[in-house]
Amino acid sequence: MGSVAALSNGASTPLAALPISVEHSSIKGLALRDTTGRTQCETLLRVLQYLGDRGINTPEGVGCGFYRIATRVQELEASGWLIASRRESMVGADGLHHIGVARYSLIGERSGPQDPQFSLDLGVA
Residue spans per domain, the chain: 4-122
Average pLDDT over residues 79-105: 95
Banded model confidence at residue 102, pLDDT cuts 50, 70, 90: very high
| pLDDT one-digit tens code per residue, 31-86 | 888 888 899 999 999 999 999 999 999 999 998 889 899 999 999 999 999 999 99
pLDDT at site 108: 92
Alpha-carbon distance of 67 to 63, in angstroms, equals: 9
pLDDT for 24 equals 52
Closest CA to 101 of 78, 124, 70: 70
Among 76, 85, 90, 125, smallest CA distance to 104 is for 85
pLDDT for res 6:
42
Say what the pLDDT of residue 93 is.
Answer: 86
The pLDDT value given to residue 19? 53
pTM, two decimals, is 0.69
Residue 55 gets the label, from left (phi > 0), alpha (psi -120 to 50) or beta, of left
